[in-house]
């Protein structure tokens, strides 16, 4: 029989707690680990499970109407007494109404994603008593958001799943962490193990945000087919969408490659042919390209159509090897970080 791994000294867990103290206090959680907001996945069950496990769950509002969001918040609160947040897309046409829903329900943290949040929405959230978290893809924008009232920032690298920016977390962390001390900064993108969390904590991060790692939590409602795709997937399988012609921008989305991905390339080529033949205006062609993936994420996550749906996944997908309870995943991440810290400080 293989030898049991050596016990991790309690001092290592205490030292890790000290590194996470600022982020954990800000979130009101045991650990400074944010759940990434994933549409259709980050709903009441996973969010509550993460908060109950000592992390910090975040509801993905996405395109929900205010009434629907109110229902989801209430349902989540019925499953956990711990704090959780709500992620709002800044381009939502009812953004301020969604902020009001969060405030009325006593949501402690509002995460603004998908662009620079309007000043009015940020002020509304803060005046209502919520803490505001914003995404900062560059140092200049990080400083601007702090001046605008952001209480914390997330810097997300291109290794993340879903809609991504062009810069890796490795570079963003070096550009931003040494220069931003006014507010807690959480790192995101491609994080799948505790050793990576520790490395960024030691660089000055307040905590980490993980999404892909939690897709296969037992409590996640993602379809079994969707989970199997993640368990089988490797880092090299999670690639950003490709743009064929700069005249027709495609917002990069990182996802596991499937038949839908191949058809998207063919669809772009056909739309370009029709545009060049004068059959489509530029506006109609752009709209045609953008509508290709409409409803594709729901088809994959909820209906299990992993061939034609969108399998949004970060490059950490290769570290997802089985279905596990959320509490077990969180405990595993913390143990990995503490073990690395013990080895570094005490030697083998």
DSSP conformation letters of 17-80: HHHHHHHHHHHTSSS-EEEP--TTTSSHHHHHHHHHTTSB-EEE-TT--HHHHHHHHHHHHTT-
Same domain, 84 and 159: yes
Regarding whether 308 and 187 lie in a shared domain, the answer is: no
- Residue 297 and residue 246 share a domain: yes
Same domain, yes or no, for 49 and 134?
yes
Which pLDDT belongs to residue 250?
86
Question: Do 271 and 180 share a structural domain?
Answer: no
pLDDT digits (tens, 9 = 90+) for 14-55: 999 999 999 999 999 999 999 999 999 999 999 999 999 999
Model-wide pTM > 0.85: yes
CA distance 191 to 314: 9
pLDDT digits (tens, 9 = 90+) for 58-76: 999 999 999 999 999 999 9
Segment 312-324, tens digit of pLDDT: 999 999 999 999 9
In a domain? residue 1: no
Residue range of the domain that includes 289: 234-312
Number of domains in the chain: 2
Residues 205 and 288 grouped into a single domain: no
């Amino acid at each position: 029989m293989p030898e049991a791994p050596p016990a991790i000294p309690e001092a290592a867990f205490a030292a890790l707690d000290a590194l996470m103290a600022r982020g954990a206090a800000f979130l009101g959680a045991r650990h400074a680990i944010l759940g990434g907001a994933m549409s259709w996945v980050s709903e009441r069950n996973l969010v509550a499970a993460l908060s109950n496990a000592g992390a910090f769950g975040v509801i993905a509002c996405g395109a929900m109407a205010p009434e629907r969001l109110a229902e989801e918040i209430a349902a989540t609160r019925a499953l956990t007494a711990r704090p959780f947040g709500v992620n709002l897309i800044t381009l939502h046409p009812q953004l301020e109404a969604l902020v009001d829903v969060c405030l009325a329900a006593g949501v402690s943290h509002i995460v603004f994603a998908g662009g620079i949040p309007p000043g009015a929405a940020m002020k509304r959230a803060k005046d209502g008593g919520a803490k505001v978290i914003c995404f900062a893809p560059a140092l200049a924008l990080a400083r601007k958001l702090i001046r605008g009232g952001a209480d914390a920032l997330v810097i997300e690298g291109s290794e993340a799943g879903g809609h991504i920016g062009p810069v890796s977390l490795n570079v963003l962390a070096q550009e931003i962490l040494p220069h931003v001390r006014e507010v807690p900064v959480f790192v995101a993108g491609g994080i799948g193990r505790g050793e990576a969390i520790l490395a960024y904590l030691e660089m000055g991060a307040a905590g980490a945000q993980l999404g892909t790692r939690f897709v296969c939590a037992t409590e996640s409602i993602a379809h079994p087919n969707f989970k199997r795709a993640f368990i089988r997937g490797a880092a090299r399988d999670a690639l950003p969408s490709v743009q064929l012609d700069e005249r027709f921008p495609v917002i990069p989305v990182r996802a596991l490659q499937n038949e839908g991905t191949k058809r998207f390339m063919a669809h772009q080529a056909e739309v370009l042919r029709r545009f060049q033949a004068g059959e489509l205006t530029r506006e109609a062609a752009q709209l045609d390209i953008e509508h290709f993936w409409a409803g594709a994420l729901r088809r994959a996550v909820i209906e299990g159509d992993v061939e034609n749906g969108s399998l949004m996944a970060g490059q950490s997908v290769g570290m997802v090897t089985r279905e596990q309870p959320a509490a077990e995943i969180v405990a595993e991440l913390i143990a990995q970080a503490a073990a690395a810290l013990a080895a570094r400080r005490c030697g083998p």
